[in-house]
Amino acid sequence: MSGFFADRRVVVTGGDGFLGRYVTAGLERRGCRNIGIPKIEDYDLVKMDNIVRMYEQMDPDIVVHLAAVVGGIGANQAHPGEFFYKNLIMGIQLMEQGRLRGIEKFVAIGTVCAYPKFTPAPFREENLWNGYPEETNAPYGLAKKMLLVQSQAYRAEYGFNSIFLLPVNLYGPGDNFDPASSHVIPALIKKCVDAVESGAAHIDCWGTGEVSREFIYAADAAEGILLATEHYNQAEAVNIGSGFEITIKDLAGQIAALTGFKGEIRWDKSKPDGQPRRCLDVSRAKKCFGFEAKTRFHEGLKATIDWYTTHRPA
């Protein structure tokens, strides 16, 4: 630990959320003594006056912007306007107020959903602008991608130190298991665990199962974000991933085996698959700030399942 964070005031928006708890824990391990977490009950970061009040009260040197309105394919399809507006306005106003206050650094967290639908795999950062995102989550992905434009524009005109990171799909203990808004791993875990308990003979899954995804353990993603916060100060976007790709069908099979579900997995092909492939080129993160994901996928899945079976509501 270098002591970089010891005397800096760091605000983590979304610091009480899934990824945020891992980031704040990492800051504490690094000796950060002043961590600000603007909780939604106290600061609605969609509203400018709340953002100004947060900056005045917390007076950060660094802002790590994790807060987002997120969900799986179903949630994105149900709320495209909300996901676009809230994610865009939060980031734009937080960065602008940070610039006006002269903060040392702004860390903008993007999303793999920003990549074009048919990006060649593995996704390289320079491919970001080579097409339109997958339609079911394009409003969310584009709202986040605009923070890259803002970061680069502010660096060019004002010398403002803002960086932009692109994490792939997250999973791990503490994930969101609400069926209305969860992503694929927690959704599949819940389906399988519920089926085992009820004795159901099958579970139903969206799409064909043939598309692929890359996943990163949340603790690893947090480590990548903190390494970038400490060491990376350039305009180019950086992928944060594991470099591991798996089809949704194989993923469902692994989760079924780990949860003890032995029934049939049915695929509802009337439902959308989303992007055909997701797999990141992670070489830039390793080169620029020495980040490599450490957690093996099977181990991470088991830890996530164990956490869910221990912590889920009765």
Give the model's pLDDT for residue 275: 86
> What is the average per-residue pLDDT within 151-173?
97
* 103: nearest Cα among 49, 156, 63, 54: 63
- The string of DSSP letters for 94-118 reads HHHHHHHHT-SEEEEE--GGGSBTT
> What is the average per-residue pLDDT within 131-158?
96
Q: Which residues pair with 166 in a beta bridge?
A: 239
Specify if 182 maps to a domain.
no
CATH number at residue 160: 3.40.50.720
Rounded Cα distance, 158 and 239, in Å? 25
Is residue 55 over pLDDT 80? yes
C-alpha angle 268/138/112, rounded to 5°? 90
Query: Which is higher by pLDDT, 218 or 73?
Result: 218
- Residues 207-253: pLDDT tens digits? 999 999 999 999 999 999 999 999 999 999 999 999 999 999 999 99
The answer to whether the peptide bond before residue 122 is cis (omega within 30 degrees of 0) is yes
Catalytic residue check, 140? yes
Specify if 230 maps to a domain.
yes
Total number of domains in the chain: 1
Specify if 206 maps to a domain.
no
* 276: nearest Cα among 207, 180, 227: 207
Q: What is the mean pLDDT of the chain?
A: 96
Give the model's pLDDT for residue 121: 93
Specify if 108 maps to a domain.
yes
Specify if 205 maps to a domain.
no
Contact 30, 1 (CB under 8 A): yes
Specify if 208 maps to a domain.
no
Give the model's pLDDT for residue 313: 79
Confidence of residue 180 (pLDDT cuts 50, 70, 90): confident
**In 7-87, which ranges are E strands?**
9-13, 34-36, 62-65
Specify if 202 maps to a domain.
no
Confidence of residue 262 (pLDDT cuts 50, 70, 90): very high
Rounded Cα distance, 146 and 168, in Å? 17
Is residue 64 over pLDDT 70? yes
- Report the Cα 61 to chain-centroid distance in Å: 23
Is residue 314 over pLDDT 90? no
Give the model's pLDDT for residue 1: 56
Query: Which is higher by pLDDT, 193 or 76?
Result: 193
Which residues in 142-178 are b (16+ Cβ under 10 Å) and which e?
A: bbbbbbbebbeebbeeeebbbbbbbbbbbbbbbbbbe
The set of residues, in sequence order, having a beta carbon less than 8 Å from that of 107 and lying 6+ positions away, is: 62, 63, 64, 65, 162, 163, 165, 225, 228, 229
* 176: nearest Cα among 286, 282, 21: 21
| Structure-block tokens of residue 107 | 């860390």
Give the model's pLDDT for residue 274: 85
Give the model's pLDDT for residue 61: 98
> What is the average per-residue pLDDT within 150-171?
97
From 55, 115, 140, 171, the catalytic residue: 140
> What is the average per-residue pLDDT within 83-99?
98
Q: Which domain holds residue 124?
A: 9-175+214-243+278-295
